[in-house]
Amino acid sequence: MGLAFVLAIRLTVPLSIFRWPLAGGLLAIVADSIDIVIFQVLGFPSFLSYHQIDKALDAYYLVIEALVVQGWDPLPRWTATALFAYRMAGVAVFELTDARALLLLFPNLFEFFYLFYVAARRFAPSYELTPKRTAAWLGVLLVPKEFQEYALHYARWLDHAVAADIIHDDAIAVWDWLRDLVT
């Protein structure tokens, strides 16, 4: 049951990227983030690991974003395409070696750059990317991305967390805080 629900969400939500590149990209990240909760509540399939399913579905929505990128101006298009190819190479190396720490060397900077550029086009359409600006933005975007890759794939801070329990505990903490605030 969990797999069917996850597949329905993770295969349909990214299609919105074609119509709404920014909102669709953000929704694809949300769908990617909640699938583990769905599996924890409805059950994992016995014949696949979570990482196998997740990496395949990540690649699916990243391919959709890579297709959208092909309509961009040359500099951001080539930058994003190179970042996409680099990440996919990293995922292939990861799949062959099962060495999660390698993903630190192949961060998914493509996704952050994609979101940055579609947001810039939406909210600052006159902002022009130059090679120098592109390099600077990639440096800025790399910092939080490397932290995320470190936390997830090297330090594995969330490997033993049960998302449903975390959500439940956080909801109770917020409820208690609100109750104390009102009384």
The C-alpha angle with vertex 56 and arms to 156 and 26, in degrees rounded to 5, equals 75
> Does residue 39 register a pLDDT over 60?
yes
Residue 166: per-residue pLDDT: 61
pTM: 0.83
106 three-class SS = coil
Q: Which of 128, 112, 99, 135 is nearest to 62 (CA)?
A: 112
Q: How far is CA 146 from the centre of its chain?
A: 13
Q: What is the mean pLDDT of the chain?
A: 89
Length of the chain: 183
Q: 171 falls in which pLDDT band (50, 70, 90)?
A: confident
For residues 76 and 117, is the Cβ–Cβ distance under 8 A? yes
Q: Give the pLDDT confidence of 131-140 residue by residue, as tens digits.
A: 999 999 999 9
For residues 64 and 17, is the Cβ–Cβ distance under 8 A? yes
Residue 159: per-residue pLDDT: 61
End-to-end CA distance of the chain: 42
Structural domain containing residue 27 = 2-182
Q: Which residue has the tokens 């509540």?
A: 41
Residue 87: per-residue pLDDT: 94
Count of structural domains, the chain:
1
Task: Work out the number of other CB atoms within 10 angstroms of the CB of residue 133.
Answer: 13
For residues 6 and 52, is the Cβ–Cβ distance under 8 A? no
